[in-house]
Structure 1
Amino acid sequence: MPATIRYQEQNSTQTLQEALDEYHALNPNLLKPDEMSANGAELFSNHDLIHVVFGLDTSLHDETLADTWTIFGSSIGFWEYLKYIKNPEAMQVLQDLSVNGNTNYLTIAKEAIRAIPDVFKVIRRSRQMTQKWPWQNHQSYRLKTLGQIRQELGIQLIATASEVMSESHNSLSAHS
């Protein structure tokens, strides 16, 4: 992974589309929307945008935060999102993750618990937003920069799991 992931910078000058392209380039194993049902493609496309807009990677920690930002920081809300994640393709991803990815449900649960402090940060920051991210009908944002979008909506990013691990490693190295 590159040292700097531009879409994770608070004031990124990338357009939303450029940032989404970077996200996909960094995560080549993501499911391809053109290989899914219409509902699955919509779900995963919108979920990928959540990762980009809120500056998240694909670690289990940040997946937990992506769900939290989706529920509290986007226009979909809890009950509608629950309908989406019951999508068979979404359920299959979780099952594949816990079988093929050598990650079991216990590991997923532990990571979700570890993310709790950041979940509360996300909830707090989502309440400070001036406007929620539109779960649908976000085409008008494609050519805006992430910095503009985040400023317009009042989005304040939190450190990603990869940034936290990098900072921990750097501080440990400094003390060696």
Structure 2
Amino acid sequence: MTRQLPYSDLTLEEALDAFRKENNLEAKYRDMREEAQTHFERHDIIHVLFGLDTSIRQEAQADGWTLFGTDISLRHIREFFDLPEEKELIEDIGWWEITKAYFRGIPDYFRIAWQSRKLRKKWRWSDHAAYRSRRVGEIRQEFGIKRALAG
């Protein structure tokens, strides 16, 4: 029996709002510069589409889905890591904790790389405006997103 991923019945816009509320991210977004909001929102969309929470393991999985399941460019990755807000987040979590999580996640990355080959198409990292009013379940069906990894 396949369990339905969270937010399936919500629009992408509604799901993003719900994700932020559930993870206490609203104030953090309000305090960010517009450029950072854009980058973090793109990252949060990956969480929503693939049904991932904000645990360190699933954060790493979200990065794996971003690399293998979207059309993100190296320029966008570099811009993201250059953001003061991202640097602050990394400092808050700690490099050692992040490094451990990513090494533990290596098996997940192989599974994500394999599963991403089954997607009907890659998510457009920078161009999702047309999807904001569509239901998350419909978007998942269009792209072939079945489920995230366990976690």
TM-score over 0.5 for the pair: yes
Contact 1:125 1:155 in 2 (8 A): no
Number of aligned pairs?
148
The residue type paired with residue 67 of structure 1 is: D
Asked whether the equivalents of residues 56 and 160 of structure 1 are also in contact (C-alpha less than 8 Å), the reply is no
Secondary structure (helix, strand or coil) at the match of 1:155 reads coil
Q: Which has the larger radius of gyration?
A: 1
Tell me which residue corresponds to 1:173: none
- Residues 1:20 and 2:16 aligned together: yes
Give per-residue Cα distances to partners, 1:116-165, cap 9 Å, x unaligned. Answer: 2211111112122111111122121112222211110112222342xxxx
User: What SS class does the counterpart of residue 134 from structure 1 fall into?
Assistant: coil
**% identity of equivalent residues:** 38
1:142 and 2:132 equivalent?
A: yes
Partner of 1:169: none
Say what the alpha-carbon RMSD is for the aligned residues: 2.1
Quick one: structure 1 residues 153 and 62, their matched pair in 2 at CA, closer, same or farther if it must change by over 3 Å? same
Correspondence for 1:33 = 29
Is 1:58 paired with 2:54?
A: yes
Q: TM-score, normalised by structure 1?
A: 0.74
* Higher RCO (CA 8 Å, separation ≥ 6 residues): 2
Counterpart for residue 114 of structure 1: 104
TM-score norm. by structure 2 comes to: 0.85
Query: CA 1:30–1:119 in structure 2 vs 1: closer, same or farther (change >3 Å)?
Result: farther
What amino acid is the match of 1:6? Answer: P
- 3-state SS of 2:117 partner: helix
Are residue 73 (structure 1) and residue 69 (structure 2) matched? yes
Question: Which 5+ residue runs of structure 1 have no aligned equivalent?
Answer: 99-104, 162-176
Give the counterpart of 1:45 among 33, 37, 41: 41
Match of 1:6 in 2: 6
